[in-house]
Amino acid sequence: MENLNTDVQKMIEELNQYMLPSTLMECFDAWREEAYKQAIRSIPKSSLGWFLDMLNRFRGPEDRKELLLEVFDPSMFTVNHPAWQSPPGTVIELPALTSEIAAKADRESEFAEAAREEVLEFREHADLYDDEELMQLGAIAIAGLGDQKRIFQNREAVICYLALNASPRMEDLWVSDDSEWLEAPRRRIEFPDMLARRKEQLLRGGGPPSLREQELICYSEDEIRRFGLDMRSLFLHDRPRHLAICSRCQTRLESWMKQLRDFDKQTLQPVRRPEA
For residue 246, is pLDDT > 90?
Answer: no
Q: What mean pLDDT value characterizes the chain?
A: 87
Of residues 83, 99, 95, the one with CA closest to residue 26: 83
Of residues 28, 17, 30, 41, the one with CA closest to residue 139: 41
Dihedral sign for Cα atoms in the order 208, 214, 218, 223: negative
State the Cα torsion 50-51-53-55 to the nearest 10°: 160
Average pLDDT over residues 149-154: 92
State the Cα torsion 122-124-126-128 to the nearest 10°: -160
pLDDT in tens, 223-235: 988 888 887 788 7
Average pLDDT over residues 241-270: 81
Residue 1 is predicted with a pLDDT of 47
pLDDT in tens, 41-80: 999 999 999 999 999 999 999 999 999 999 999 876 777 8
Q: What is the largest CA-CA distance in the chain?
A: 86
Indicate whether this model's pTM tops 0.85: no
Q: Label residues 93-114 b or e (16+ Cβ within 10 Å = b).
A: ebbbbbbbbbeebeeeeebbeb
